[in-house]
Amino acid sequence: MRKSLLLLVSLLCFFNLKTHAQHTEIGIFLGSSYYVGDLNPNNHFINKINPALGVLYRKNLSKRYSLRYAFNFGYLSATDDNNGAEWNSFRNISFSTTLMEASGLLEFNFLPYQINNYNTAPFTPFIFIGAAVFRVAPEIKNNSTNLTVNAKDLIAPSIPFGFGLKFNFIRNLGLNIEWSLRKTFTDEIDGLLPTYSNGLQLTSSQNNDWYSFAGITINYKILTKSDHCPVVK
């Protein structure tokens, strides 16, 4: 009788795991943000990299696919003194702005993965793509005259995409390392106008601005009933 009961409970536990394989996670992002545009046309991780942080909620649809909802806060800045482009150094301009972003992403794991599940891979590469809305409020400074101008606030959409690695860390904690870019549809993140008042070209209207996040995320797997399957003694 005892063995039969143990077998029954074990089968129920297995069935529960199979039919409730979905798990949710909450996480904290710590990393950096930077801008690519007219004041930084070529450099990644060089021209004014800044700290960033965020929070996320992840719904694991399976061991391969996940939906992630996130809110990130960062800081963007760049200067003509360090943009690697001599042809536009005559401007001698810099800018800075806070950055707020809300996003929804679809993630794909290359290996079956789940935090604290030893029947899956302990780590996996992953890629993601999604949609986001961001807000910036750029401040532009003419370094020749020390004149500072506040541009209008901008709220606009972007397309986030990137890649990274997911690791099992400790118990129900996971660790992600990732890098991503945001394609935008505006050339106004830096707040620059198309021309100077004297008619000199200030920006390239053919190229929109980009921004990026890179860093680590610590994720906590929220336990479900299947994680607390009873053990018969």
Q: Is residue 233 part of a domain?
A: no
Q: Is residue 106 part of a domain?
A: yes
Selected residue with higher pLDDT from 9 and 122: 122
Chain-centroid distance of CA 140 in Å reads 26
Across the range 93-103, mean pLDDT stands at 95
* CB-count burial class (<10 Å; 0-12, 13-18, 19+) for 184: buried
Q: How many residues can be counted in the chain? A: 233
Q: Is residue 37 part of a domain?
A: yes
Selected residue with higher pLDDT from 67 and 89: 67
Across the range 135-164, mean pLDDT stands at 91
pLDDT > 60? residue 13: no
- Identify the pLDDT of residue 226: 56
Q: Is residue 220 part of a domain?
A: yes
Report the chain's mean pLDDT, rounded to a whole number: 83
pLDDT > 60? residue 166: yes
Across the range 144-159, mean pLDDT stands at 89
Distance CA 53, CA 30 (A): 5
Q: Is residue 45 part of a domain?
A: yes
Q: State phi, psi for 42 to the nearest 5 degrees.
A: -130, -20
Token pair in block for residue 108:
């794909």
CATH number of the domain within which 28 lies: 2.40.160.20
pLDDT > 60? residue 231: no
Nearest of 60, 69, 54 to residue 104 by alpha carbon: 69
Q: Other CB atoms closer than 10 Å to residue 144's CB: what's the count?
A: 10
pLDDT > 80? residue 91: no
> Whole domain around residue 89: which residue ranges?
2-228
pLDDT > 60? residue 43: yes
Contact 98, 106 (CB under 8 A): no
Q: Is residue 213 part of a domain?
A: yes
Nearest of 93, 68, 70, 73 to residue 33 by alpha carbon: 73
Domain count, the chain: 1
- Identify the pLDDT of residue 143: 79
Across the range 158-170, mean pLDDT stands at 96
Q: Is residue 93 part of a domain?
A: yes
Q: Per-residue pLDDT tens for 210-221?
A: 999 999 999 999
Nearest of 105, 33, 34, 24 to residue 72 by alpha carbon: 33
Nearest of 163, 133, 158 to residue 208 by alpha carbon: 158
Nearest of 191, 75, 204, 186 to residue 141 by alpha carbon: 191
Q: Is residue 80 part of a domain?
A: yes
- Identify the pLDDT of residue 88: 58
